[in-house]
Structure 1
Amino acid sequence: MPTRHARTPALPTLWLMTDPRMGEAMWPAIERLPRGAGVIFRHYGVAGRRTLYERVRRIARRRGLVLVLAGTPVQARGWRADGVHGGAAGAARIRTMGAHDAAELVRAWRRGAHCVLLSPVFATRSHAGAAGLGRVRFGLLARQSRVPVVALGGMDPARARGLPAYGWAGIDAFL
């Protein structure tokens, strides 16, 4: 269930990160999300990206999902997204950013992120070979953050339990 944080609009605690590797499995994954969950649309460089986004947007509106576009704030406004994901400066109703260490957490807060997706918590297929932060390091970093932290990387509901995180995000967990 989304809640309001001190400086954010309605901010989901559960996020689906889209990925071209999801293929047609993306559609039932979006349909299964609970009302108020978020979708971060990341299909970078994919032919027909805007058409694909519009299909996701229609589903998100019908299902009461928050839809954030990985891109620029100008693009997110033009595409009628609820927010923007990424490092470009600019105002957005919801602004999410990724981080992998303490310096990137600070950078995200300074750039106006409403929440930070801290990753990878655990080993993940999307970043094969990358070492995960693990529960302890994730916890230490999350507790330092001035904005809500969402756990990403090898996440599922069981792994999210007990983490000092505002919420969690995933790709494969929804397939």
Structure 2
Amino acid sequence: MDRFHPPSLPRRWLLTDERAPVPVERLASMLPPGSGVVLRHDSLAVGARWRLFRRLARIAAARRLTLLLAGTPATAVRWGADGVHLRRRRAARAAQAQRLALVVSMPVHDAREARRARRAGASLAFVSPLYPTRSHPGAAALGRAAWLRLARAAGGQAVALGGMTPARARALARAARASGIRPGWAAIDAWVEAAEIRRRRQKRNCVPT
């Protein structure tokens, strides 16, 4: 896949989760054009993960999605990803990723990780959890004020993750306006719920009258 760098980075994101009850390809295919996907699925064998990536890459090309791979910059380039999602243990590889013309995203949960993302020059900081979320059971939610502090500290484009919905994303955007931040948002469950709503509607429409 040729790397596609849009004029501005997406503000809506899907982070893949192996626990999701809906296939990730189905979720990606219903994302609005211009959205982004971060492929995690770390527990898959390399071959299976590669095949999943290729299926997502075809969807991304058709829908003009930005596709990031959680892993190493070398793998992201070899597979043809638009960028790489660097977790804590790989944060030092940000410079390598930038030399390879990859979009770089990093997770931010606290002030230390925010400083790390800023020093690395990350294009995207996934700041979480804004609200309680099943993906971080028991983790304290940041709340809006703390989220905005971390977003400012991280630099780059801040993306809210953790219990996000479209309504919560709009509320965050209004709250962030005064600070000059234009936050994006990412979700797992919100996209799963949207897929289930669509499935139920389609099923009703198929019932003979």
Aligned to 1:13: 11
- Counterparts of 1:82-121 in structure 2 under 5 Å? 82-87=82-87, 88=90, 89=93, 90-91=96-97, 92-121=101-130
Quote the Cα distance in structure 1 between the aligned partners of 2:141 and 2:114. Answer: 16
Q: How many residues align?
A: 169
Q: 2:158 aligned with 1:168, yes or no?
A: no
Quote the Cα distance in structure 2 between the aligned partners of 1:23 and 1:74. Answer: 31
Of residues 57-66 and 87-96 in structure 1, the stretch that sits farther from structure 2 once superposed is 87-96
Q: 2:52 aligned with 1:55, yes or no?
A: no
Local SS of the residue matching 2:75 = helix
Q: Where do 4+ consecutive residues of structure 1 move more than 4 Å?
A: none
Q: Structure 1, unaligned stretches of length 5 or more?
A: none
Aligned to 2:37: 39
Q: Which has the higher helix share?
A: 2
TM-score when normalising by structure 1: 0.89
Aligned to 2:69: 69
Q: Structure 2, unaligned stretches of length 5 or more?
A: 177-181, 193-209
TM-score when normalising by structure 2: 0.76
Give the counterpart letter for 2:19 in structure 1.
Answer: R
What is the Cα deviation at residue 147 of structure 1? 1.5
Q: Is the 8 A contact 1:152 1:170 kept in 2?
A: yes
Give the counterpart letter for 1:106 in structure 2.
Answer: R
Give the counterpart letter for 1:118 in structure 2.
Answer: V
Q: Please tell me whether Structure 1 or Structure 2 has the larger radius of gyration of its CA atoms.
A: 2
State, as a whole percentage, how many aligned pairs show the same letter. 49
What is the Cα deviation at residue 9 of structure 1? 5.6
What is the Cα deviation at residue 25 of structure 1? 3.5
